[in-house]
Structure 1
Amino acid sequence: MTVDVDLVLVGGGGAASLVLAALGPSSGLRVAVVDPVLKRGQDRTWAFWGEPGTFLDPLLSASWDAVDVVTATGRRTLPLAPMRYAMLRSAPLYDLAAATGAIRITAPAGEFDDDGSKVTIKDAGGTPLVRADWALDSRPRPPRRPGRTSWLQHFRGWWLESDRPVFDPGRAVLMDFRTPQPARGVSFGYVLPVSDRFALVEYTEFSPAVISGEAYDRALEGYLALLGLGSLRIREIEDGVIPMTDGPFTPRPSPRVVRIGTAGGATRPSTGYTFSAMARQAGQIARAVEAGRPPVPEPAYPARHLWMDAVQLRALDRGLVGGVAFFDGLFARNPAERVLRFLDGNTTVREDLALMASSPLLPMMRAAAGDAAGRLTS
């Protein structure tokens, strides 16, 4: 039988779980989740910055008021107040989402039939599964046209445990650029300690393509040797690939279907960071529902930021600027809070101009000119 609900979430991962958590169990909505896999347990870790005082605070594994950015020339500690850098593991978010009482339909979604007043979601064979007033679709989706520049944020992280205190739980490393740099792109390590004996240590690249599993492992082994932490046990492994592209996504493909997560434009093109925008849009959806409005979030980032991201991606991709020098320069010439708010899409025009003025002028002008020519051609 077809299930009738007010709201259906297609895909049950981070974006959908954030919406369920923001709605809470007392929203009064009939909600269904369509996903062939029931998400549970620790399958991923999200790290993000923002101000304290959100519905996520009770779920956090750790948070830091300052972070370090490290290069071959030294270490810079960045005070984040009034913001903070925080870590959220997936299990408590999935548990909170499950406690909302949403109906779970463990089947892959097929065709969407949107008649302008209701959305019917069918399975792969065409049988109706659920009918809803609104559908929020978080499944991965390519942009509606290929980007002029398309990179990836790709990474492997090891959850490491030690028999003795080796980590400083009060200090997180946001970017450590002492890792060997790829021929085309930028790499860095980071360290997120939960205690003095347990931490997530990760190797990340911004580059056009992923590398082999053996290459990630070698990079992590080299980074750990650089840190000099001694003998450690690997308790868990996390991998991920996130698109970095100036290709546009379609956030609303039909009247009553809204895309969220990466498919809805929540991923920052210049870095691949996604979680903060997903959480922000989940809060907007919950507030809209509470006020009796359609569950349609605002665009994740201002149009001018997407243009700035396209220029930055082009400059990195064409070798007009070096990745390490570019990111280190942003933090060296701007308050950390301004840079992080920019990456979240929350800076003013005046602050954006200050950020642009702190970047390499001539290379970025060349990138901007190339981007304009590309837009005219396409």
Structure 2
Amino acid sequence: MRSAVDVDLALLGGGGAASLVLAALDRHGVRDLRVAVVDPVHRRGQDRTWAFWGLPGDDLEPLLSARWQRVEVVTPAARRVLDLAPLRYAMLRSGPVYQRAAEAERRLGATRVHAAVDDVRDDGHRVLVRAGDGSTVRADWVLDSRPRPPARAGRTTWLQHFRGWWLSADTAAFDPARAVLMDFRTPQPARGVSFGYLLPVTDRYALVEYTEFSPELLTDAGYDAALAGYRDLLGLDPARLTVREVENGVIPMTDGPFPARPSPRVVRLGTAGGATRPSTGFTFSAMYRQADQVARALAAGRPPTPAPAYPSRHRWMDAVALRALDRGSVDGPAFFDTLFARNPAQRVLRFLDGATTPAEELAVMRSTPLLPMLAATAGDAAHRLRDRLRPARPAPPTPPAVRAGTPPHP
């Protein structure tokens, strides 16, 4: 049995959420904290891509691969060019994030345990973490970002699943000034919503991706066929393109609960802590907020407990929207097209990030189909009542490809 490591803070999992926490601790000048990171993989390089919107000039700006102030939302009926100013849509690849986290880890003098977590015991005073290599970590606080299913099955459970190709072209093929945020001209699944998008880094290098919101995953051949179809729809010549990298991911879209505080001294972050927006799969902005709030609290000597990732009213609206899409009472492409057609782009983006006021949310709700959404609201209320009157159902197992981060699209 190895000797125990005693720390003030233990991070379980070393992906995007933990990397952002390490960087935030460094940014806020936390230096007297004993930190341990428990993860079997020491992450480095490009293994995922995040995209998000916000005001330019934050500390992530030097790490970005690309940024856009104009994006397109395309449906079979219309092509909308959205001016996001003063916001911008930004692409962040994982390599610079992991590198910054590694530098912060060195400055913090953190202890790294290269093993999976076997057990976590919280007695209300300290937390004992047992790792697969026989080591143990005793911590005052634990931040756990390991992927996990919700505490109970949701009333609606979908997945956001996607595959992307990083394409290089032998001649200029892309417009680096404009990204395609959502393109619903893709063939729609029988139950769900699909779209493609295009994020150009240069005129010869871009990420092209196919995404579905649906209950079931595709086969490898299915994703490749869908991607090839979308590439052709964009008018790109496969003979002049080379696939340099492939990205895959699965993210839960469910109104099942993800408790952010499962025990007194364990705090969950990332998707495990409710950072994924159920109706869209967006995660990065909430994950970044969580990291900043944790670091600010620790710098001030307070417990590292971030605020809820989204207001409770947003989680309710997500449950209603998911139900309406799942029951087929609203058409997915038309639903998203209407949101952008009847609202300023900045309002929609703030809404998707959980940053709108109640007045703005009323405006968003008024722009959705009234009768189907009222029916979904009534159905959701009835389902909630049934849930109160019967035992909780177990949550479905987490798909093997679930990622703690988020893809560069809704």
**Counterpart-to-counterpart distance in 1, 2:357 and 2:64:** 29
Deviation at 1:124, TM superposition (A): 3.9
Q: Which amino acid aligns with 2:35?
A: V
Q: Which residue does the alignment assign to 2:335?
A: 326
- Kept in 2: contact 1:153–1:241 (CA 8 A): yes
Q: Is 1:97–2:101 an aligned residue pair? A: yes
SS of equivalent residue, structure 2 residue 246: strand
Q: Which residue does the alignment assign to 1:376?
A: 385
Q: Which residue does the alignment assign to 2:26?
A: 24
Q: Is 1:66–2:75 an aligned residue pair? A: no
361, 364, 368: which one pairs with 2:370?
A: 361
**Counterpart-to-counterpart distance in 1, 2:172 and 2:245:** 19
Q: Which residue does the alignment assign to 1:41?
A: 45
**Counterpart-to-counterpart distance in 2, 1:113 and 1:268:** 29
Q: Which amino acid aligns with 2:125?
A: S
| Residue deviations 1:336-359 (CA, integer Å, cap 9, x gap) | 111111111000000111011000
| Residue deviations 1:54-82 (CA, integer Å, cap 9, x gap) | 22111111111111001112310111122
- Kept in 2: contact 1:120–1:128 (CA 8 A): no
Structure 1 residue runs of 4 or more that deviate by more than 4 Å after TM superposition: none
99, 117, 121: which one pairs with 1:113?
A: 121
- Kept in 2: contact 1:138–1:260 (CA 8 A): yes
Pairing 1:121-136 to 2, within 5 Å after superposition: 121-124=129-132, 127-136=134-143
Aligned length in residues? 377
- Kept in 2: contact 1:22–1:55 (CA 8 A): no
Q: Is 1:253–2:262 an aligned residue pair? A: yes
| Residue deviations 1:281-306 (CA, integer Å, cap 9, x gap) | 11111111111111111000000000
Pairing 1:1-378 to 2, within 5 Å after superposition: 1-24=3-26, 26-28=29-31, 29-100=33-104, 101=106, 102-124=110-132, 127-230=134-237, 231-378=240-387
**Counterpart-to-counterpart distance in 1, 2:87 and 2:159:** 27
Structure 1: gaps (5+ residues): none
- Normalised by the size of structure 2, how large is the TM-score? 0.90
**Counterpart-to-counterpart distance in 2, 1:117 and 1:377:** 37
**Counterpart-to-counterpart distance in 2, 1:281 and 1:107:** 25
SS of equivalent residue, structure 2 residue 202: coil
Identity, in percent, stands at 70
**Counterpart-to-counterpart distance in 1, 2:65 and 2:328:** 38
Q: Which amino acid aligns with 1:336?
A: A
| Residue deviations 1:209-232 (CA, integer Å, cap 9, x gap) | 111110110011111111112221
Structure 2: gaps (5+ residues): 388-410
SS of equivalent residue, structure 2 residue 229: helix
- Kept in 2: contact 1:153–1:205 (CA 8 A): yes
| Residue deviations 1:161-193 (CA, integer Å, cap 9, x gap) | 011111111101100111111011110100111
Deviation at 1:128, TM superposition (A): 4.6
Q: Which amino acid aligns with 2:228?
A: E
Q: Which amino acid aligns with 2:23?
A: A
- Kept in 2: contact 1:251–1:260 (CA 8 A): yes
**Counterpart-to-counterpart distance in 2, 1:123 and 1:30:** 18
**Counterpart-to-counterpart distance in 1, 2:306 and 2:251:** 21
| Residue deviations 1:224-277 (CA, integer Å, cap 9, x gap) | 111112221000000000000000111111111000011100000001111111
Q: Which amino acid aligns with 2:117?
A: A
| Residue deviations 1:27-85 (CA, integer Å, cap 9, x gap) | 11221110011111100001111122322111111111111001112310111122111
**Counterpart-to-counterpart distance in 2, 1:96 and 1:71:** 39
What RMSD, in angstroms, separates the aligned Cα atoms of the two structures? 1.1
Q: Which residue does the alignment assign to 2:402?
A: none
SS of equivalent residue, structure 1 residue 180: coil
**Counterpart-to-counterpart distance in 2, 1:197 and 1:105:** 41
Q: Which amino acid aligns with 1:147?
A: G
Q: Which amino acid aligns with 2:118?
A: G
- Normalised by the size of structure 1, how large is the TM-score? 0.98
